[in-house]
Amino acid sequence: MKRIFTFVLCIALLTGFFPSRALAASPWPDNITIQAEGGIVMDADTGTVLFGKNIHNAYYPASITKILTAVIVIERCSLDEMVTFSHNAVYNVEEGSKSAGLDEGDVLSVRDCLYALLLQSANESANALAEHVAGSVEAFAELMNAYAASLGCQNSHFANPSGLNDPNHYTTAYDMALIGKAALNNETFMEIDSTLYYDLPPTKRNREGLRIYPGHKMIKKNMPEYYSGALGGKTGYTSLAGNTLVTFARRDGMTLVAVVLNGHSSHYVDTRAMLNFGFKNFLTVSAADFDTDFTSVDNDMTIAGLSPTGLSGLELEPNMKITVPKDATFDAVTSQLSYDLTASVPAGSIARVRYYWNDLNIGYTYLTVKAMSPDQVMLPAAVVSLAESASQEPAAGVLPDEGDSVEPSEGRDEEGLIAPLTAALSDETVPESTAGNAFVRFFRSVPVVLWLIAGGILVAGAAGGTVIFLRQKNRRKEDEARMARRQRRLERLQEAGISTEQFEFMVQQKRSLSARKNSHGSQRKELL
């Protein structure tokens, strides 16, 4: 029953089976104000921005920079590696800035240095770790910028590992939330960051060792700023940055990251307001569970001769989340599908489904296909015969790819939605449900989708021969890249247990049905 539902769900999402869903969204909650110049609260599971103020404006971050420093160090080092403090690490800091009392020549483990960095906000520890990882503070700053960019940060630049004042050291509330989101997913970071005290070993200046405590007051039960559910975070302050604060909190299955930039001694009040706003007004749910729009669909429906049980390998990844207002109905959620996947997607994924509340991205999940034996997908004999006799289509196993153009007359949805069962394709179709003779007529009318550019162009004495040669060389490279992508996608289908005949049938089904949709003037939203 669940497989039937998931198949119907995917077809409904792709074909606009429930067009009224796009019209049902109510206003996004916004009953909150903060005093800081910049701030944000984000659902850490989905990346949804629940509230933001000047979230893309650049500000000085101060010591919340150390979150990024710690994540990079943890990913690149063993905690038992030993770090020697250089003269530059200890003394290349602003006078009076935060310190753990470490001196030139002290030797601590990476673990000790990370506790000093996150709990005590020790600037000499930030410098020493940077030198240990990259050889110099400057080289480490390059790693910081590259790592931030990999997380999607677009308006930040980091010049040092500590956050001390530098005109080229800045970030935004949104970028800092992305960095905080990455830190939340690092178990070692969270173990260190949530610690209430830690004993540093004896050093030159502290012969008995030194017990250190976190600076973040919202995780301390004996402080008036304490916040139930707070997991950790990082404080920051310089005269130029003002008060900055990153806070992680979890309640009732929802995990939030709040960021305050350029606060004016209101950073804890602002953070509490944003966290309360998030927990009061929103909830995080599994995308695969919002099924109220689809449970009433007839389970005995057929698509071009195939029953839903014949394609029962389709399902939505159950562990991916979306964020919705608490007073919402799921009718307010719209969705879009994309075939553009990275190497880190869950096994069996063939497409990504993004969910929206009006124009706000509220999360995504993956459409996956389980491995199916040949007898699980039964094709009508007439359909198999049609696929074998379609001389105008690509040969078996040859799949169209990103670089190949498809004319609208070939049945392509001009707005770009992609059928989940044909994720190996690039510019293919997202059809509506239909069956029988209409499928056959449209199937026979589809012309050639892909012509491979083959062969080389010999350079002769003709004018412009050099230009032609260079163009052909570039085309050959593109062809090789396309063929490599085709092979990867073909392997993905094979791993899913879908044969070439089954795949070709699905392709023709999608094209013919999309052509019929286009003829009725149906509209689609473009993919991101």
Residues identified as active-site: 63, 66, 121
Cross-strand partners of 255? 250
**Pair of tokens at residue 484:** 């490599």
Provide the 10 A C-beta neighbour count for residue 70: 26
Over its C-alpha atoms, the chain yields an Rg (Å, rounded) of 28
Residues constituting the chain: 528
**Pair of tokens at residue 402:** 């990103």
Nearest residue to 248 (alpha-carbon basis) of 224, 267, 271: 271
What is the Cα–Cα distance from 455 to 406, expressed in whole angstroms? Answer: 22
What are the DSSP calls for 92-133, one per residue? SS-TT-------TT-EEEHHHHHHHHHTS--HHHHHHHHHHH
**Pair of tokens at residue 262:** 């350029």
What are the DSSP calls for 43-98, one per residue? ETTT--EEEEESTTS-B--GGGGHHHHHHHHHHHS-TT-EEEPPHHHHHSS-TT--
What backbone torsions phi and psi does residue 499 show, to the nearest 5 degrees? -75, 170
**Pair of tokens at residue 56:** 């893309």
What is the Cα–Cα distance from 63 to 268, expressed in whole angstroms? Answer: 16
Residue 19 DSSP SS3: helix
Q: In 3-state terms, the chain is what percent helix, strand and coil (to 5)? A: 40, 20, 45
> Alpha carbon of 205 to those of 47, 85, 104, 308, 467: distances in Å?
44, 13, 10, 72, 71
Cross-strand partners of 357? 333, 360
**For residue 252, how many C-alpha atoms fall within 13 Å in the half-sphere facing its CB?**
11
- The DSSP call for residue 303 is B
Alpha carbon 153 to its chain's center: 12
- Please enumerate in sequence order all residues whose Cβ is within 8 A of that of 52, keeping only pairs 6 or more positions apart, or say none: 39, 40, 41, 173, 174
Provide the 10 A C-beta neighbour count for residue 72: 21
Provide the 10 A C-beta neighbour count for residue 384: 14
What backbone torsions phi and psi does residue 370 show, to the nearest 5 degrees? -80, 155
What is the Cα–Cα distance from 272 to 275, expressed in whole angstroms? Answer: 5
**Pair of tokens at residue 213:** 């405590």
